[in-house]
Every structure is written in C-alpha cells, then in structure tokens.
C-alpha cells in the first residue's frame, strides 16, 4: 500500500529536495554574487589592494553563505549555505568568463566570415592581403581528414577495450584500466612529441596528415574507451543472462545484445572523443607542419588544419591575418558546440529510453 502511494505521487512530492521557492533561489543568487560585486567595486575604486580585496571576498562569501543557509534552514543549514553559495559563485564566474570569450570570438570573427572564406585557401595570400581574399577551405578539409582517420583508428580500439574490461574481464583487466586512466592524463603536446620523436625525427615518415591523426588517436582513445566502458556498464545484466540461458555464446551476446543495446551511448562516446581532439593545436605543430595549399592526401606532404591555422594567424602582427584567425576560431567553436550538442542529445535519448 505504501509503495502504491509513493508511485501515485507527483515527481515534486517524491523528490522534495528539488522543490525550491523563488525566495530560496533569490537568496542563493544574492549570497553568491553580492560579495564578489562589492569587493570588485572597492578594488576598482582603489580603496583596497588586490590581496586585501581577495581576502575580504573570501570572508564575505563565507558570511553570506552562512546567513543564507541560516535563513533557509536555521543552524542546520549553515554549512550547506556556505557550500551552495560558493558553488553558485563558481558557476557565475565560469559563466562570465566563458561568455566573455565567446563574445570576443563572435564579434571579432564575424569581420572576415564570408562564404568565400569557407571555401578558399591561402596559397597566394599574404598576411596583409584584404579580407575578401583567402580562407580556411584547405584547413577545413585537413581537419576533417585528420579527425576522420583518428576516429577510424580509435573508435574500434576504444570500444574493444571497453568490451574487454566490462564483458571479457580477463586477467589483464586491471592493467588495461590503468593504462587507459594514465593515457587520459597525457598532455596533448606529449602526444605530438611522441609521434615526432618516433616516426618523423627518425626519418620513417615525413610531416603529413597521418602523423597528426596518430597524435590525435593517442588523445582520443582514452576518452572513447572510458565513455564506452561506462555505457556498457549501464546495460542490464538480465539481458546478458537471458541470452546466455538461450544458449548463445559470450561473443554472440556481446555482438547481438550488449552492443546494439548501447548503440546510442557508443555514438555519444565517439562524438565526445571527436570533440576532445578537434581543437587541439599542440599535436599538429609537431606532426603536420601546416600548409597554405589544399592537400587531401594524408600521407604526402604537410597538411593544414583549423587549430594550426588559428595558431599561426594570431601570432601575426597584421590586422587582416588576425581577423582571419578569429573567424577560423569562430568556425571551430561552432564545430565543437555541434559535437557536444549531439552527444548531449543522444545521451538524453538513451536515458529516456531506459526509463
């Protein structure tokens, strides 16, 4: 009877901690932002030094959080109020910084962003050429080719690694998990230096798109493997048991039951891996060298890519070249947003389907 009563309740009644009044939200917003605004104002006026203003902000932030928690829940809410106010300030600060960066890229990037900018290359363009000439067409093609090759290499290996950890559970499972965890912390520049030192500097290969794809693979593989591992763990154990009870082998259970069930999650893992590497510049500096021409052959000669195009453009002291770099950054920002949005939508659909 009690179970039926709980099931018939509304979601807000089942989860009372999610129900917040407008006054509660207003108190949290004031406690999270007012100390920062006050300290920033007195610092701008010149009343206090930066160090003293920072110390005063910490004191006021703790006091504001404590007051907000006390108003909401009495003495029991004092610690919760300090924590919630601090988290609210962190979110507001990060949101302000991100909005500032996005606004800067948007306003400066629209100056050179025209249709010809997307399809042209820089073969006959100098840093002082007018904005109506030159573009990132060669860099867009190079990025698609390099990321595509890295995806073809890393996604099967990453999913196979996740299957080994979650389904096979062999003796080396702990070792493989440790290696994946260690690879996830490798700096991007180290991946580029590794490919350069082992394959390019030794004379085995020259600077080309394939070397950049291999460097991207090192960075993309742990993201795909760890995400796929978490996705496969969400597949109900009853499905595996039912398939095994019908006489299916472990390999057939994985290929015909587990992987199809987690298909949308595996696609999400792939998109997150692509979003992880598509904006990396350091690996490309040591592997593809960069080019002003259009090169669609990943194994022959230097190749262009959007991150490297931006890196080379912002270093130029000429306004037209910097404007092109900001426009390229705007295109790259749009691509990253698209990939993360797709990953979010697919993961949301998977969660709704599970419910």
Q: Torsion angle of alpha carbons 212, 214, 216, 217, nearest 10°?
A: 170
CA distance 28 to 175: 45
For the segment 37-46, the average pLDDT, to the nearest whole number, is 85
Buried b (16+ CB within 10 A) or exposed e, 317-339: eeebbbbbbbbbbbbbbebeeeb
Per-residue pLDDT tens over the stretch 286-331: 999 999 899 999 999 999 999 999 999 988 889 898 999 999 999 9
* Cα dihedral across residues 257, 233, 240, 167: positive or negative: positive
pLDDT at 78 over 50: yes
On the question of pLDDT at 1 being above 80, the answer is no
Across residues 109-136, what is the average pLDDT? Answer: 87
Q: What is the mean pLDDT of the chain?
A: 86
pLDDT of residue 311: 93
Per-residue pLDDT at 18 exceeds 60 = no
pLDDT for 258 equals: 92
Indicate the burial class of 277 (C-beta count within 10 angstroms; 0-12, 13-18, 19 or more).
buried
- Of 160-169, 177-186, 338-347, the poorest mean pLDDT is in 338-347
Q: Which residue is listed with tokens 């003293």?
A: 52
Per residue in 176-208, pLDDT tens? 999 999 998 889 999 999 999 999 999 999 999
What gap in Å lies between CA 48 and CA 56, rounded to an integer? Answer: 10
Contact (CB, 8 A) for 261 and 239 = yes
- Say how far apart CA 203 and CA 206 lie, in whole Å: 7
What's the burial of 112, exposed, middle or buried (CB within 10 Å: 0-12/13-18/19+)? buried
Which pLDDT value is given to residue 219? 95
Q: Region 202-222: what's the mean pLDDT? A: 95
- What pLDDT is attached to residue 349? 54
Rounded to the nearest 10 degrees, how much is the dihedral formed by the CA atoms of 187, 190, 195, 197? 180
- Answer yes or no: pTM beyond 0.85: no
| Mean per-residue pLDDT, 206-221 | 95
Report, as an integer, the average pLDDT of 258-267. Answer: 90
- pLDDT of 28 reads 78
Q: How confident is the model at residue 169, as a pLDDT?
A: 81
Question: By percentage, how much of the chain surpasses pLDDT 90?
Answer: 41
pLDDT mean over 30-52 = 85
How confident is the model over 134-164, as pLDDT tens digits? 889 999 999 999 999 999 999 999 999 999 9
- pLDDT band with cut points at 50, 70 and 90 for residue 44: confident
Domain boundaries along the sequence of the chain: 2-109, 137-354
**Average pLDDT for 105-118:** 87
* pLDDT at residue 17 tops 60: no
Tokens of 324: 């092109």
pLDDT band at 270 (very low <50, low <70, confident <90, very high): very high
CATH superfamily of 137-354: MetI-like (1.10.3720.10)
Tell whether the model's pLDDT for residue 27 goes beyond 90.
no
Confidence at 352, pLDDT banded by 50, 70, 90: low
Task: Indicate if the pLDDT at residue 228 is higher than 70.
Answer: yes
- Determine the pLDDT at residue 12: 47
Q: Using 50, 70 and 90 to split pLDDT, how confident is the model at 346? A: confident
DSSP code, position 258: I
Show the tokens assigned to 96: 């302000």
Of 355, 124, 177, 155, nearest in space to 268 by CA:
155
């Amino acid at each position: 009877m009690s179970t039926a009563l709980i099931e018939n309740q509304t979601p807000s009644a089942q989860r009372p901690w999610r129900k917040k009044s407008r006054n509660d939200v207003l108190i949290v917003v004031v406690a999270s932002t007012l100390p920062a605004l006050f300290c920033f104002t007195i610092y701008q006026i010149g009343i206090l030094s930066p160090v003293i203003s920072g110390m005063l902000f910490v004191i006021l932030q703790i006091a504001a959080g404590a007051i907000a928690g006390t108003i909401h829940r009495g003495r029991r809410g004092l610690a919760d109020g300090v924590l919630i106010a601090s988290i609210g300030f962190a979110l507001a600060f990060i949101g302000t910084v991100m909005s500032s960066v996005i606004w800067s890229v948007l306003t400066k990037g629209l100056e050179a962003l025209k249709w010809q900018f997307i399809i042209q290359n820089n073969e006959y363009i100098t840093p002082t050429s007018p904005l109506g000439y030159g573009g990132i067409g060669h860099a867009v093609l190079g990025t698609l080719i390099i990321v595509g090759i890295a995806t073809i290499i890393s996604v099967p290996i990453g999913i196979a690694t996740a299957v080994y950890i979650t389904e096979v559970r062999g003796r080396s499972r702990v070792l493989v998990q440790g290696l994946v965890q260690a690879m996830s912390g490798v700096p991007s520049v180290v991946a580029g230096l590794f490919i350069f030192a082992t394959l390019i500097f030794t004379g085995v290969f020259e600077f080309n798109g394939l070397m950049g794809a291999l460097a991207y693979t090192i960075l993309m593989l742990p993201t795909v493997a760890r995400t796929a591992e978490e996705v496969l763990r969400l597949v109900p154990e009853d499905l595996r048991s039912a398939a095994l009870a019908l006489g299916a082998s472990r390999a057939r259970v994985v290929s015909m039951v587990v992987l199809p069930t987690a298909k949308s999650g595996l696609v999400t893992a792939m998109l997150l891996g692509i979003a992880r590497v598509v904006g990396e510049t350091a690996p490309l500096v040591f592997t593809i060298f960069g080019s002003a021409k259009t090169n669609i052959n990943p194994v022959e000669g230097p190749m262009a890519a959007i991150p490297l195009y931006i890196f080379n453009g912002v270093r130029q002291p000429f306004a037209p070249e910097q404007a092109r770099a900001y426009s390229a950054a705007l295109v790259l920002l749009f691509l990253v947003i698209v990939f993360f949005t797709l990953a979010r939508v697919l993961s949301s659909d998977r969660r709704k389907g599970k419910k």
